[in-house]
Amino acid sequence: MSNFILHKMSSQNMCYYDEQMGFFYNKSKQKIEDWEFTHLIVLQCVGCIFCCFILVSNAMVILSVITNNRFHNAFYYLVANLAASDFLAGIAYVYLMFNTGPVSQTLTVQQYFLRQGLLDTSLSASLTNLLVIALERYISIMNWKVHSNLTKQRVTLLIVLVWVISIFMGAVPSLGWNCICSIEQCSMLAPIFSRSYLIFWSLFNLGVFLIMVAIYLRIYAYVRKKTTVLNGHATGSIKRKKTPIKLIKTVMTVLGVFVICWTPGLVVLLLDGLKCEQCNLLKFKRWFLLLAVLNSVMNPIIYSYKDKEMWATIKNLLRCVCNGTRRQRSSRANTRTMTSTTEMNTSLRLSEEKKATQDMPKT
C-alpha cells in the first residue's frame, strides 16, 4: 500500500518537459483530427488569404497615422498601436495555421508555448489598447475636446506599458503557470495550460470587458446630456462638437466587435477551467478561433468606413504604391529600350567600320 502511495506521489511530481504535444493531447483525451492532405492545403490557402489581408490592412492603418500629420495625436497613436496588435495577431495566425491539425502532436513543449504565447500576447495587446483608448476618450470627452492633452512622451510610455503587460501575460504559462509537472491539473483545450490559469485568464479579460463597457456607458450618458444642452445654442457650436462624438462612435464599434468576437471563446476557456466535462467544448473550438480571426479582419474595415480621413489617407497610400510600381515598370522598359538601341547603334557602327576597312584600296 505504501509503495502504491509513493509511486502515485512520484508520478504526480514528475515533469514532462521532454515530451511532445501528442503525449499531452492523449492525456487530455483531446482527439486530433486526421486531416487529409488536400483538406490541410485548402485550410492553409484560405487562411493565408485572411492573414495577408490582416497584415496588409493593419500595416496601411499604421502607415496612415505615420504619414498624415492630422493623425499625430494621442488618439490616433493608440489606434496605430491597436493596429500593431492586430498585425501581431496576423503573424500568430500564420504560425498557428502551419502548426495545427496532425502537426500539433509533433510540437515540442517550447513550440506550443510559442504558438499560444503569440495568440495570448496579441489578445492582451488588443484588450489593453482598447482599455487605454477608452480612458483617453473618457478624459477628452469629459473636457469636451476632440483630443486629450496627453503629450507624446506620455503616449509613448503608455504604448510601451501596453506591450510590456501583453508580453508578460502571453509568457506567464511558459514562466511556470502550467501543468507540465502536475498533469492531472491540465485543461482539455490547451493541454499544457493548467485549469487555474484558464480561469484567471478568462475572468481577467471578461472583467476588463465590463470595465470598458462601464466607461463607454458613462461617456454615452455624458454626451447625451451635453448635446441636449447644446441644442439650445447656435448651430455652429454644435457642428464644432460633432467630431468627438464621431470618434466615440468609431471606438464603440471597434469595442463592440471585439466583445462579440472574443467573449464566446473566453466563456469556453472558463468552462474548460471549471472542468465542465458535459459541455462538449471541443465541438466549438474552431468556430471561436474563426471569430477571433474575423476580429482582426474587421478593425481596419471599421476605421476606413467610420473615419473618412483615414480612408482617404489609405487610398492615397495605395495610389502611391500603384504609381510607384508603374514607374518602376516604365523605367525598366525604358532601360531595356535604351540598352537595345545602344546595342543596335554599336553593331551598326562596327559594321560600317568593317565595310570601310574592306573598301580601303590596298597599297
pLDDT digits (tens, 9 = 90+) for 102-114: 888 889 999 999 9
Cell numbers 568593317 correspond to: 354
Evaluated on CA atoms 337, 338, 340, 344, the torsion sign reads positive
Under 8 Å CB-to-CB from 324, ≥6 apart: which residues? none
Highest mean predicted confidence (pLDDT) among 254-263, 277-286, 316-325, 351-360? 254-263
Quick one: average pLDDT of 166-192?
A: 91
Where are the domains positioned within the chain? 37-322
CATH architecture for the domain at 37-322: Up-down Bundle (1.20)
Q: Which three cell numbers stand for residue 155?
A: 503616449
In whole angstroms, give the CA distance from residue 143 to residue 243.
14
Quick one: average pLDDT of 295-321?
A: 87
Q: What is the pLDDT of residue 300?
A: 87
Would you tell me how many other CB atoms lie within 10 Å of the CB of residue 139?
15
Q: What is the pLDDT of residue 9?
A: 46
Q: What is the pLDDT of residue 116?
A: 93
At residue 327, the 3 state secondary structure works out as: helix
Cell numbers 469636451 correspond to: 144
Could you tell me if 274 and 196 are in contact, meaning their C-beta atoms sit under 8 angstroms apart? Answer: no
Is residue 293 predicted with pLDDT exceeding 80?
yes
Q: Which residues of 29-53 are buried (b: 16+ CB within 10 A; e: fewer)?
A: ebeeeeeeeeebeeebeebeebbee
At residue 20, the 3 state secondary structure works out as: strand
pLDDT tier at 2, thresholds 50, 70, 90: very low
Higher pLDDT, 15 or 2: 15
Is residue 331 predicted with pLDDT exceeding 70?
no
Q: What is the pLDDT of residue 8?
A: 45
Quick one: average pLDDT of 31-47?
A: 72
